[in-house]
Structure 1
């Protein structure tokens, strides 16, 4: 641009001077066109053109110098990754921090192994290498070998016969003549292990240092950028670019299975490329053989690096320095890749891990996982990346895996609320632990914890049924029943499985499947439990509800009445379980058209629930909707408001698209439409 501008200015100057000469020779008093300005204000135009010409002349040598500047010398800088994806904002942030006058010239990039720290640092070096005169890459994973790399670097800089003690300061001294420079220390350990190799004092201001590390504790030495996994968009972009035939939907699902870990995504792309595996087939392998798949697939530039072995060095180090942290890591590997409540380990009646008994030892044990980047630690929880868990599981001996699973089953069974319907705090606790229960119970159980696994599965299915996930609850309860039926002396537990399964089928609008299950449960419990057992009351109330759906109201009524009597005697008149019996009995009366009898029963149930549960609890919503139906049949105008309150609770707890929420709002609309028609009839 400046060259064109200088040429234009020079042309204008020639035109200006030529015009002056022509005017002098021809004694013209009038110039045509745009030259009128030159004629009328010649010196003003000249004063404007001279600075532009000088700028153009000044810029030309600068451009020539820039074109002639050699590329910066480099030492061991890896090749640029042609498939580097995303991270633009992080690269800009890194550049801004390194060049800020208010910040130090050393930055640490910290993150989980495989998250792309090295790739980010290398990409920074290439993207901004025109800003440096010298770029070096030092492997810092083994601190003892750093000095030898500086000795090699010294030879590259022309330094010979330098003692081992002096080589590092001499290198930095020589780099004063090559500033600005950049040195990347890759995969550094704790700050102390690199103290001898990092510049200090005035040397820092002459260049930039980037340290990549998995280890925490660098904030006192430098600014720290915590590098996270890819965004889902970046993961999908990489897979689509690398793998022919990859669709956005399949890429999204593969990225989810791999937890958006950049190294794993590159490894997956390499596997599919080498084996010509269709993306959908690769996804199926991930879902069924994750522990095996993370050991397969090569990276073109790092053929020896795979996710399965990525954290082995850290685990070996823990085994030496903090063996209890390895035990904790193994337990966490069998749980879900969700926040793991630390209370699960510290409050367990059985000793899950010895360190949990001592607050200091426990803090250091948990901190060791966070410090080495194997987990993220929050105030009361620990989170492991799903591929860290998979790699640990793959390396666990069978007996260690079995022992850890047995201990976790016992701990989870003690931690989850068993009284899902009567305990007001059951829902938040189950929401916190459900994913971990499902992770521990997903495979066939060892004999040592088969009974505990069955109970966990049944309780999980009952909780899922409570929040409306009926289809998810069904296979869990079927597994619980199969396990209990395979064990001796489990008649009562089989009965609990059967009645829960009957409740699920009732909610799935399959009362014909539910009835024999409920009848068998009642028969089993009556044969092995006292006649006044609350478990029998649950069977009776459930069977009464099923018979209502089948239209057998006459048979349902005495069952509901007997259930109410048992629970009132066992728990007292104001217990939440009594409210379920009251609702069941009221439902039978509603079906029989006896709305006046049903209303006080529902009102009493609602009062019990409002005293026992939070104002927006699902059970209150259900009771409000049932009462609204009864009152509307009695032409009570308060029915609409009750239905609205109930529908809003379901909307809040289950979501707008849930079938029960749709039914609730449909009920409100039906009431409003009926009232509107009645109003028009009165007016007419």
Structure 2
């Protein structure tokens, strides 16, 4: 609005800049109105400042134009609020502050000499008189002085004067206010702005998970801004069939319809009457179906509607406003407001465990009256469900555990497939899961309820939508992420048979979502998303080959990203399980041994890796013969381990054997054959047969580029090895060109942190130094060292090798005669 715009010389004493904490907006509007009505000019941020304007500049200009009227309250003096630097700046400039108190509060020492007036615990008329005395002095008359244009100014603010904040409307049925309500100031202010800014009936839908405090927020809003309304009516709306009777009661109360009229007719008359009225508030609590509520939403030009719901899909009928969990400071304040006495560290730990969810915190506070924080944490770790079935607050119909159970039961009745997905995700990680990526890819043994639910992306989308409507998880773009606390409760509530079914479904989901090729970089973004879920699975619970393969794929991805230690630990658990369940000769156990050997090799235990690969090769030969593909793959792997151990002649012989077998079985151009040829070229170089290595490497690289493409990781690895061999035979220029080309493509295809990319960059830096491009070599070496430290750690042999080379280079550059 334009109230207070413009000023004339000598009028600054009649112009007031009202400053307040966000929590006290209702008071600020009431004070501003009274000053306008008494002929003062007023500047109030909510009335006069537009969205996007510079807050600091507007505040500075307001202070230059008029005097500061400060509304003192506990919130006003909170250090993190902007009011603190504001009043300290005014004091520093020697400007006058006129304070009024909205509640019992002790001002900071520097402000205590100021005389302040109290507006609380007074009726509206007395509070107005005290306010005007504060700004005009005690000689101000009690009667309302005439002021030209007053009514026009007031009409810009609203139809009639607001009542004193805290006074309740004449027509109301609001639930009792929660004396322990804590925090949410910014959300309340946002809600007030959203409701008060519209020209037509403003409808806001507070949505969020169960127990997040939507109803309490609506109650607090209704009471905090009660002075703005002449009618405030609360309608429990979970069952749409009961809404007409409740609205009919309101119609009779305000005389819009006679008592006893059929509800449908009374509702029609009520909505018509509300269309002609102003300053009313309707609250529909726990409305879940937007289309079912739509016939009861009033039209007209004024009035406010507030909806609370677990369903976020209100865009057609209302402006959705997400109610999330509390900030940590608010969580701790809520625990203490409920009577809990505990140190900051214990309060913080408990709030984290309970996901900052208000209902859970309230229940925990009740339990802390009969057990210690340490005992409560131990019980939560044992069974989240049992703990949160206790201590139901008086103002909430059920405990959090019961609320989760009831919501899941409703979901199961409406959409059994969505309930099955929810139970499966309860046994995975509380992270994003790409549900629609599973559509149409579930294994054949999947249950009918799950396979039908995820038969297509369209049906999978309906599963996501059903879960979202009940606010049991966060959903976005086909992904589902369970709330950590909800997940723990759901998992605890599963019966043994339900848990067994959920484990099978979880494995089916992981299998369906996993990329087909664990080594293809195209699948790495998917592996990154699936990784926490696959690491959350107990390897002993995996019952299918595809499920175990998915876990192997996740571990392979970890090793490709330079994290072999967590991969090794998980692979060891899986391998031990496979040995026990299936025996050492089973193909799944042999596959696990293969991946575990790589993990031992990359965690600097090459001898253990060699022993595993040797045993695997021996078993494959006995089970399948020398020319079986698995036997040939094992021979190739064992040769690689022998190379790492420096046993080059043995590695060379084994690689020659494997290459001949692969050429015989799958042909010279098969990707596996070409990979073995590349490995053999490395062995030839290792025994000093570098010219032969160059020839074989060149031929192999050409084959890989033709069969796989120049950007394939295998071709890039061979190109790096060939650059080294070219260097060793004196073809320096070609080596540098190939090294630069390979490094650039690896950064683009594999990423700057991939192990192959770092290996090529390290080799290129050495070659650049040797051709005199020392500055470039040092820059590349320092970048490679930093990345190796981040990816591999400071103690990894590759990191130490790069660090030693770089130190040697620095000494050469900075030593005697450097730069001459």
Superposition deviation, residue 98 in structure 1: 1.2
Q: Map of 1:413-492 to 2, 5 A cutoff?
A: 413-417=511-515, 419-421=517-519, 423-439=520-536, 441-442=537-538, 444-445=540-541, 449=543, 451-488=545-582, 491=585, 492=587
For residues 570-585 of structure 1, the aligned pairs below 5 Å read 572=668, 575=671, 582=678
Cα deviation, residue 122, structure 1: 1.3
User: Residues 99 and 640 of structure 1: is their aligned pair in 2 closer, same or farther, counting only changes over 3 Å?
Assistant: same
Which residues of 2 match residues 267-306 of structure 1 at below 5 A? Answer: 267-271=363-367, 273-279=368-374, 282-302=376-396, 304-306=397-399
Given that 2:201 and 2:299 are in contact with CA atoms closer than 8 Å, whether structure 1 keeps it comes out as: no
Q: 1:236 to 1:461 in 2, by over 3 A?
A: farther
Distance in 2 between residues matched to 1:340 and 1:198, nearest whole Å? 37
What residue number does 1:669 align with? 806
The equivalent of 1:379 in structure 2 is 477
Q: 2:335, 2:347 within 8 Å by CA — same for their partners in 1? A: yes
Q: Which residue of 2 aligns with 1:604?
A: 722
Query: Relative to structure 2, which stretch is displaced further, 466-475 or 225-234?
Result: 225-234
Report the Cα offset of residue 427 of structure 1: 1.9
SS in 1 for 2:510: helix
CA gap of 1:364–1:67, structure 2 versus 1, over 3 A, is closer
Contact 1:563 1:581 in 2 (8 A): no
Q: Which residue of 2 aligns with 1:504?
A: 599
Q: Summarize deviations over 1:606-654 as a string: whole Å, max 9, x none.
A: 788987881526143243156358748x945468857855874786798
Does the aligned pair in 2 maintain the 1:515–1:543 contact within 8 Å?
Answer: yes
User: Is the 2:168–2:227 Cα contact (8 Å) retained in structure 1?
Assistant: yes
1:190 aligns with 2:286: no
Report the secondary structure of 1:57's partner residue.
coil
Aligned pair 1:324/2:408, yes or no? no
Change (3 A) 1:66 1:269: closer
User: Tell me, what secondary structure is at the counterpart of 2:562?
Assistant: coil
Summarize deviations over 1:335-367 as a string: whole Å, max 9, x none: 433222212133224354214336655544443
Partner of 1:99: 196
Cα distance, 1:233–1:593 mapped onto 2, change above 3 Å: farther
**Aligned residue pair count:** 619
CA contact (8 A) 2:442 2:511 kept: no
- Superposed CA RMSD in Å reads 4.7
Describe the SS at the equivalent of 2:582. Answer: coil
Q: Distance in 2 between matches of 1:87 and 1:224?
A: 17
Q: CA deviation at 1:656?
A: 6.7
Within the candidate set 331, 338, 341, 2:431 is matched to: 338
Counterpart check, 1:627 vs 2:763:
yes
Q: What residue in structure 2 maps to residue 310 of structure 1?
A: 403
Higher RCO, Cα 8 Å, sep 6+: 1
| Residues 1:240 and 1:494: Cα distance change in structure 2 (over 3 Å) | farther
Partner residue, 1:88: 185
- Distance, in Å, in 1 between the alignment partners of 2:401 and 2:190 is 31
Counterpart CA distance in 2 for 1:576 and 1:236 is: 59
**Alpha carbons 1:172, 1:199 under 8 Å: kept:** yes
Identify the range of structure 1 (153-162 vs 178-187) with the bigger mean alpha-carbon deviation: 153-162
Describe the SS at the equivalent of 1:537.
helix
Distance 1:594 1:103 in 2: 86
Task: Look up the match of 1:146.
Answer: 243
- SS of structure 2 residue aligned to 1:425: helix
1:398-426 CA-to-partner distances (Å, cap 9, x unmatched) read 334323422442453354246433x2323
Aligned to 2:207, which of 110, 113, 117? 110
| Unmatched tracts of structure 2, length 5 or more | 1-12, 15-34, 36-134, 147-160, 698-717, 724-738
C-alpha distance in 2, partners of 1:627/1:573? 28
User: Distance in 2 between the 1:572 and 1:648 partners?
Assistant: 39
Equivalent-residue separation in structure 2 for 1:69 and 1:489 (angstroms): 75
Report if the CA contact (8 A) 2:166-2:224 is conserved: no
Does structure 2 conserve the Cα–Cα contact (< 8 Å) formed by 1:621 and 1:649?
Answer: no
CA drift at 1:113: 2.0
Q: Does 1:521 align with 2:616?
A: yes
Alpha-carbon distance in 1 for matches of 2:668, 2:780: 28
1:108-160 residue CA offsets vs partner (Å, 9 max, x unmatched) = 21222222211211121232223234433222112233344446657876997
Q: Using a 3 Å threshold, how does the CA distance of structure 1 residues 623 and 104 change in structure 2: closer, same or farther?
A: same
8 Å Cα contact 2:200/2:300 also seen in 1:
no
Which of 210, 213, 219 is equivalent to 2:309? 213
Task: Go from structure 1 to structure 2 and tell me whether the alpha carbon gap of 1:628 and 1:369 turns closer, same or farther (over 3 Å shift).
Answer: same
682 and 127 in structure 1: CA distance in 2 versus 1, 3 angstrom threshold: closer
What is the match of residue 41 of structure 1?
none
Q: Is the 8 A contact 1:140 1:188 kept in 2?
A: yes
Asked if 1 retains the 8 angstrom alpha-carbon contact of 2:781 and 2:806, the reply is no
CA distance in 2, matches of 1:579, 1:461: 21
Q: Is the alpha carbon distance of 1:146 and 1:652 closer, same or farther for their aligned partners in structure 2, counting shifts above 3 Å?
A: farther
TM-score with structure 2 length normalisation? 0.63
Contact kept, 8 Å, 2:172 with 2:232, in 1: the verdict is: yes
**8 Å CA contact 1:183, 1:209 repeated in 2:** yes
Relative to structure 1, the CA distance from residue 66 to residue 334 in structure 2 (aligned partners, 3 Å threshold; closer, same or farther) is closer
Report if aligned partners of 1:113, 1:214 keep a CA contact under 8 Å in 2.
yes
Distance 1:680 1:521, change over 3 A: farther
Cα 1:642–1:155 shift into 2, 3 Å:
same
